[in-house]
């Protein structure tokens, strides 16, 4: 199972928006409404930010939103804040009780 | 509070074995599937294995199939990962992760802090 493809980096100024893509195949991203997104600060465990493409767990700000079109999912962070600077990973169910993660994107707040 | 705490990591020579443990608290452990996810130094996340809530079904990434075994003891609220025939490329932080089903589908909602495994001669 190959990793999902994400851009290595993305950046934006405080208050701006940044969008991260996550490209897979019809066997994972395109085949299920199962894309989730995780935020990871250096030295910390990942934190769930979005699940089932566009749902937010309790406590996650509504500045974080998700979408999907075909084999590509996206995470948008609106109103960027300094604390949003982190690595972001997408994940998708890939069938047969297996999961796949994205390659990761480092978001920098300028 | 809901918590997963891993232990058992360390330095081991290639070809040797190691067993990781993950102690759960703050939720009904026997009601949730649990995964192991790893992260090599400076690299991305990799799904390793998962086990269903009742322990009957287990699934593995191709990279560890036949070498790693996931198991659980619901009476002790503990998850295990037996790692045999370790390779240098197994070096990573290993996270114990709760499957959010049924409340949160197809996602990992609770993560442990991770335990480091280093495979080196």
Contact B5, B113 (CB under 8 A): yes
Instruction: Name chain A contacts of B100, Cβ cutoff 8 Å.
Output: 48, 51
Q: Could you give the CA distance from residue A74 to residue B33 in angstroms, rounded to a whole number?
A: 27
Q: Do B47 and A47 touch (CB under 8 A)?
A: no
Tell me how long chain A is: 110
Instruction: Name chain B contacts of A55, Cβ cutoff 8 Å.
Output: 104
Summarised one tens digit per residue, pLDDT across range A83-110 is 999 999 999 999 999 999 999 999 999 9
Q: Do B109 and A34 touch (CB under 8 A)?
A: no
Nearest to A35 by CA among B107, B98, B39, B104: B107
User: How confident is the prediction along chain B (121 residues), in pLDDT tens digits per residue?
Assistant: 999 999 999 999 999 999 999 999 999 999 999 999 999 999 999 999 999 999 999 999 999 999 999 999 999 999 999 999 999 999 999 999 999 988 898 999 999 999 999 999 9
Q: Could you give the CA distance from residue A13 to residue B111 in angstroms, rounded to a whole number?
A: 30
Contact A41, A89 (CB under 8 A): no
Count CB-CB contacts under 10 A for residue A86: 21
Q: For A45, which of B35, B106, B112 is closest by C-beta distance?
A: B112
Q: Report pLDDT for B105.
A: 86
Q: Looking at CA atoms only, how far is residue B111 from chain A in angstroms?
A: 6
């Amino acid at each position: 199972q190959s990793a999902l493809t994400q851009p290595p980096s993305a950046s934006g100024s405080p208050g701006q928006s940044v969008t991260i893509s996550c490209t897979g195949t019809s066997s994972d991203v395109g085949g299920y409404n199962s894309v989730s997104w995780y935020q990871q600060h250096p030295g910390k465990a990942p934190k769930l930010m979005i699940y089932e493409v566009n749902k937010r767990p309790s406590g996650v700000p509504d500045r974080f939103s998700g979408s999907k079109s075909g084999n590509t999912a996206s995470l948008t962070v609106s109103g960027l804040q300094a604390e949003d600077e982190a690595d972001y990973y997408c994940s998708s169910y890939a069938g047969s009780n297996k999961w796949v993660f994205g390659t990761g994107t480092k978001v920098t707040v300028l | 509070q809901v918590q997963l705490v891993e232990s058992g990591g360390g330095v081991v020579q290639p070809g040797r074995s190691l067993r990781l443990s993950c102690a759960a608290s703050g939720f009904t452990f026997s009601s949730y599937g649990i995964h192991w996810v790893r992260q090599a130094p400076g690299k991305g996340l990799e799904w390793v294995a998962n086990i269903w809530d009742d322990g009957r079904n287990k699934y593995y990434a191709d990279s560890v199939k036949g070498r790693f075994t996931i198991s659980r003891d619901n009476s002790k609220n503990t998850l295990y990962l037996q790692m045999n025939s370790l390779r240098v490329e197994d070096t990573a932080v290993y996270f114990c992760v709760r499957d959010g089903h049924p409340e949160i589908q197809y996602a990992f909602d609770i993560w442990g802090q991770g335990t480091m495994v280093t495979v080196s001669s």
